[in-house]
Amino acid sequence: MIRHVTAPRIEATSSWQSRRLLRTPRDNVLAAWVFGITLLGMWIWWALAQGAFFGTVMLPGSIVLFLVLALMIGFARFPVSPRGPHAIAFLCFSGLAAWTALSIIWSPAQDLALDYAQRGFVYAAAFAIGLLFAAALRQRMSLAVAPLLIAGAVVVLVILIRIWTAGDVGGLLDEDHTLDFPLGYRNANAGFLVMVGLVAIAFGARPHCEARLRAGLAALAAAALALAVVGQSRGSLIAVAAGVVMLLVAAPYRGRALLLLIVAVLPVALLLPQLLDPYDAASAGSSSALAEMQEAAAAAAFAAVVAALVAAAIGVLEQRGAGDWMPVLTPRGKFVAWTLVALAGIGAAVVVASGPISQGVDAITSGDTSYTEAEGSRFSYGGGLDRTDYWRVALQQVEDNPALGGGAGSFRSDYLLDRDADQSPRNAHSVWLENAGELGIPGFALLLGGFVFAIGGALRSRRLGPEAATLSTVALTAFAVWAGQASLDWSWFFGGLTAPMLALLGSAAAPAALSFEILPARVRTIVGVGAVALALLAVPTFISDRLALNAARDWTEDLGGAYDALDTSADLNPFADVPLLVKANIARQAGDREIALAALEEALRREPADWRGYYLAAQVLGPSSPVGREQLDKALELNPEGEELKRLEKKFDDASARRTPNRGEDES
């Protein structure tokens, strides 16, 4: 029923060819170090800086990635074939970014279209760097996972230290009393932590993983998953389910993966009450919220210690037994094993119903459907499920213009015109539907094609040895977590979440992409020149964003300087209306009516579909001006259900009603 098998190795037509393929030249060693350090620094920085959602963080990071890619692809000789699934995937991701940039022509939100295009090129670069990183590592290619794992460990440690040293929960929790530090959004936060946790398990499930490393990975997985529970992201439940299924399906050593998963998850499950308590305390406005949060952090640390000790004990047992004590099962053996697993699951369910875990399960399942209710948890909250309305509008965009879509960034304005929910989202909360709605069938095909061929490259690599199989499992697990969350959220726009996943997919495709020939000079030139050009184009956009942010913050200290900075910001990014809107709002508050109207005139010329310009114009002109009423009516056409517009409309109506009797009295 049990037989032992040996994992396949990378083979070549002769032994000297095999040695040549796997031998790492000095330039590749240097490239591997540069790529590894760059990715490690980038993943830490982006995760701790609100997930690189904002351009002031994403853009300087993108400049670094582009320049490192250009420098290394020009300096090092990578043994990568220019053909294959990896090449098609890179072309699809690059083509998607280019198509996004082209949509500026027909998009009603040109500033967003530019931002989305720049993010798309960053993700294509991350895929390419991941591919070249693993190719440079050669026989040590599984080390391509190290940047994300080390970054994840640093982020988890920073979260724990921040919680333990916090004076209050204000900088830790969002308005719904859930952990959103450090990525700034609970779903992205939980998605990153779940990805790190399951990647750690996938990497630690290797049969020859050193015992101390496996213990550390188990600790990292337990701590990350525990902190993800504190975030109480319902979207992360889908991410967890997708990631676990992919892990157990893709792992070449499923028994090991399942065992390590249990080792990491069981202490987290036992500590669920402590991990869920901060939400109860914070939502009730209790003074004990900080103490509950610190207790939850202690529980996460304790779960990590328990997981590490159990994993270490298993390692000792493994060392004292046969070298590979976890055998590969025959089909009949697998049937028996999974039957035992099912029986164990039934037994666990009985324990859950009556044991300590039941408190955590009760907290998840018995909560009230109110954010402000102290009972239960946010996992049971039934509100906020407006995504179906978002998806309806995105599908309508596809139906209205399947060839081009509405243009990148168009969902925001289209949804305001046809919404049934009291929300004003910028994104459709589904990477697939938003992409199809804004970029049409071509954009959707490029996105889907990029992932299909990237996954195809990872699957082709699986048969090339245990290192390649490990990389493939890790990348596919990370993708499953990301895709599970991104299918009903806006994960695509968090560079700290999306870029590491794409880099792992690139690394997983590398084993099958290795070639006896160096990447052609023509390909290296095109990629290098393109990367430099993208880095140069990102500079003015970054400076524009930074100037606008600083002016909005410091205008009360230097009004004239703020005006000049915002003018420069608008000049550096000719598609952006935000610097002009900020200038108009500052001028309105400062009483500079003419300056405000001049800025609004230019802002509305750039973005005529942005209701905010008309709203500000109505505020500046006031209810006594007929033009002010016209501006308000235009804003209401673009955003019929806007609460701030309705309040301003009532103010205008009240002012008009007060003037009418006066005119009647004068006539009498």
With a cut of 50, say whether residue 4 has pLDDT above it: no
With a cut of 60, say whether residue 116 has pLDDT above it: yes
CA angle (409, 412, 417) in 5-degree steps? 135
481-500 confidence digits (pLDDT tens): 999 999 999 999 999 999 99
What DSSP letter does each residue of 9-58 carry, written as one string?
----SSHHHHHHHH---HHHHHHHHHHHHHHHHHHHHHHHTGGG-SHHHH
pLDDT at 662: 53
Per-residue DSSP letter, 170: T
Whether the CA torsion 116, 117, 119, 124 is positive or negative: it is: positive
Tell the residue number behind the tokens 């310009």, with chain if given.
613
Nearest-angstrom CA–CA distance, 204 and 217: 6
Report the predicted TM-score, pTM, of the whole model to 2 decimal places.
Answer: 0.88
Q: Backbone phi, then psi, for 328, in 5-degree steps?
A: -90, 130
- For residues 220 and 293, the answer to whether their CB atoms sit within 8 Å is no
With a cut of 60, say whether residue 361 has pLDDT above it: no
Residue 230 is encoded by which pair of tokens? 């504190």
Residues 68-92, mean pLDDT to the nearest whole number: 94
At 438, which amino acid appears? Answer: E
pLDDT at 529: 96
Of the ranges 75-79, 439-443, 544-548, which one carries the lowest mean pLDDT score?
Answer: 75-79
Number of helical (H) and strand (E) elements in the chain, helices listed first:
26, 2
257-280 confidence digits (pLDDT tens): 999 999 999 999 999 999 988 887
What DSSP letter does each residue of 612-645 carry, written as one string?
HHHHHHHHHH-TT-HHHHHHHHHHHHH-TT-HHH
At 77, which amino acid appears? Answer: R
pLDDT at 664: 47
| Element spanning 68, H or E | helix 55-75
- Whether domain 536-662 has CATH 1.25.40.10: the reply is yes
Mapping DSSP onto H, E and C, the string for 386-425 reads CHHHHHHHHHHHHHHCCCCCCCCCCHHHHHHHCCCCCCCC
Which residues on neighbouring strands pair with residue 329, listed in sequence order?
A: 2
> What is the distance, to the nearest Å, from the Cα of residue 538 to the centroid of all Cα atoms in its chain?
20
When pLDDT is cut at 50, 70 and 90, the band that residue 49 belongs to is very high
Residue 58 is encoded by which pair of tokens? 């994403």
Residues 409-438, mean pLDDT to the nearest whole number: 93
Contacts of 639 (CB under 8 A, 6+ apart): 416, 417, 424, 611, 645
344-358 confidence digits (pLDDT tens): 555 544 444 444 444
- For residues 28 and 76, the answer to whether their CB atoms sit within 8 Å is yes
pLDDT at 158: 97
The rounded mean pLDDT for the chain is 87
228-247 confidence digits (pLDDT tens): 999 888 888 899 999 999 99
Residue 482 is encoded by which pair of tokens? 């990301």
Among candidates 151, 171, 186, 152, which has minimal Cα distance to 293?
Answer: 171
Percentage of residues in the chain having pLDDT higher than 70: 85
When pLDDT is cut at 50, 70 and 90, the band that residue 366 belongs to is very low
Of the ranges 51-55, 178-182, 468-472, which one carries the lowest mean pLDDT score?
Answer: 178-182
Alpha helices, DSSP H only, in 487-573? Answer: 495-513, 521-554, 559-572
At 538, which amino acid appears? Answer: A
Contacts of 122 (CB under 8 A, 6+ apart): 58, 61, 62, 65, 66, 495, 499
With a cut of 60, say whether residue 342 has pLDDT above it: no
SS3 state of residue 384: coil
> What residue ranges do the domains of the chain occupy?
2-9+21-366+387-519, 536-662
